[in-house]
Amino acid sequence: MDHRRKLYLSHLLTSWVDRSFEFASYLLISQVYTASLLQVSLYGLTTTLVALVLSSRIGHWINLLSRINTYRVTLLCQKGSILLSIVFFHYLDRFNGASRSVLYAFILLLGCSLKLAFIGNSIAIEKDWAMILSDGHLALLLPTMRRIDLVCKTLSPIVIGYLLLAPPIVITIVICAWTSVSAVVEYWLISQIYHNVPALRCRAPFNTTSPTSTVAVGESQGEQREEQEGGPSVPLSVLEYVQHKTFLATLSLGMLYMNVLSFGGTMTSYLVLNGYNSGLLGIMKAVAGAMGVLGTYAMPLLANRIGNVRTGLWSIWQLALTLSLVVLALTNTLDWTTTSILLFGGMAASRLGLWMFDIAENLILQEYTQSIHITSIAGWQYSLCNLFDLLQYVLTMIVSDPEKFILPASISAGAVVLAAILYTGFVWKDRGHLLHALKLK
C-alpha cells in the first residue's frame, strides 16, 4: 500500500469517527433537553467560540513540534474527548438540576477539546502533509480526501441514527469500542507514512509546486525560489491577512458557516423537536451527503473547463439559490408535500454547490499562497469559519423558540447571498471580468 492510500485510509477512519460523533452529540443533547434549542446552541456556541479564539494560534503551533508529534497530540485529544464525552452522555439524563448542569459543563469542555484537536489535525494533514504526499497532484488528492469525508458524512448518520434507537449502554459500548480501535489503526497508518517519506521528517515545511499552480502577481522569482526550497512558516498579522490576495475568497467561505439550513446540529435538533426520529434524519442527511459526494466529482470536471476560480463562482451562487428554496419552505405558506420537497430537496441540492465551492476555494488558497504562509492563512481562515459558525449559534440562542425558526433561517440565507457577492468581487478583481465561454475540447 503506497503512502497516499494509507493517507486515504487514515482519513477515512478519522472522518468516520468525527462525523459519527458530530451527528450523535447533537441528537443526544436534544433527547435530554426537549423544550428548546438553547442547550444545543450553547454546545455549538461554546465549542465554536474556543475555536475562534485559538484557531489562528493553532496554525502557528503546528510548526513548533515535529509533524509526527503534532499528529500524536491531536489524535490523543480527539479520541480521548470522544470517549469521555460518550460516557458522560450515558449518565446525563440520569441526573437533574445542578448535577445535570455540572455534567453538561464537562461535556462542553470536552467538546472544546475535540474541536481544537480536529482543527489542528485538519491543518496539519490537509494543508501540510497533503502538499508533500500529493507529488505535485494536489488537485487530485484534495478532492479525494473531501470525497472520503463526504462518504462518511453520508453513511455514518444512517448508522448512528439507528444506533441511537438502541439501549443507552449499547450506544456507549459501540462508540467507545469503535473509537478505540480506530485510534490504533490510524496511528499505525500515519506512523508508516511518516517513516517512509523522508520529506515529512524535515523540520521546515516542504513545498510541492503543482503544475497547475500560478505565481501570484507581484511575487518575485526569489520568493518563488525560496518557497520551493522550503522555509520556516511565517505567521501573518490580521492586517497582512486582510491585505492578502485570497482574503475575499476565504471570507466568503467563512460566511457560509453562518448557516442553520443544513443537517448540522441546530437544524437536526429543530427537526427532532418537530417529531422526526433519528433514523429518518440519518437517511435524509445521507441523501444530502450523497449530493456533496457528487459535487467532489463534478468540481474537477467543471474546473478543467473554466478553472478553479470560476468554478467557485458558479457553485456559490448555486448554493445561494437552493437555500432560498429552503427558506420558502419554512414560511409554512405551502402545502405539506410542496413544503417537504423544497425543504429536504433544497438542503440536499445545496450540498452540491457547497462542496464544489469548498474544494475550489481550498485549491485557490494553495495556488495563491506561498508555502511559508500557508498554515498561517489556513489558521486565519479557520478563525473566520468559526466566527460565523459562532454567529449561527448566537442567533439560535437569541431565538431559541422552534416556532420562530424562520428568523435565523432567513438571516442564514442572507449571509450566503452576501458571501456569493463578496466572492464575485474576488473573481472580478482576479480576472477582470465575470462572463466567459466554456473551454471546449
Query: Which pLDDT does position 215 carry in this prediction?
Result: 32
All cell numbers assigned to 237: 498579522
Q: Where are the domains of the chain?
A: 3-208+234-431
Dist CA 108 CA 179 (whole Å)? 19
Q: Which tops the pLDDT comparison, 184 or 151?
A: 184
8 Å CB contact between 361 and 253:
yes
User: In which band, very low, low, confident or very high, does the pLDDT at 289 lie, cut at 50, 70 and 90?
Assistant: confident
Cell 437517511: give the residue. 283
DSSP 310-377: HHHHHHHHHHHHHHHHHHHHHTT-S-HHHHHHHHHHHHHHHHHHHHHHHHHHHHHHHHHS-HHHHHHH
Class of domain 3-208+234-431 as given by CATH: mainly alpha
- Whose CA is closest to 290, among 163, 142, 416, 152? 152
Query: Which pLDDT does position 57 carry in this prediction?
Result: 81
State the DSSP H helix or E strand holding residue 107, giving kind and residue range, or none if neither: helix 97-122
Percentage of residues of the chain with pLDDT beyond 90: 50
Query: Which pLDDT does position 52 carry in this prediction?
Result: 79
Query: Which pLDDT does position 136 carry in this prediction?
Result: 65
Query: Which pLDDT does position 112 carry in this prediction?
Result: 95
Query: Which pLDDT does position 54 carry in this prediction?
Result: 84
All cell numbers assigned to 262: 443544513
pLDDT averaged over the chain?
A: 85
Number of CB atoms found within 10 A of residue 61's CB: 18
- Whose CA is closest to 41, among 440, 417, 430, 401? 401
Query: Which pLDDT does position 435 carry in this prediction?
Result: 67
Q: Give me the mean pLDDT over the 337-352 stretch.
A: 90
- Please calculate the CA angle 371-375-378 and round it to the nearest 5 degrees: 115
Phi, psi of 370 (to 5 degrees): -65, 150
- What pLDDT digit, counting tens, does each position of 374-427 carry? 878 888 888 888 789 889 999 999 999 988 999 999 999 999 999 999 999 999
Q: pTM score, two decimals?
A: 0.74
- Whose CA is closest to 46, among 102, 115, 92? 115
Dist CA 406 CA 329 (whole Å)? 10
Cell 487530485: give the residue. 140
Dist CA 337 CA 163 (whole Å)? 29
All cell numbers assigned to 3: 503512502
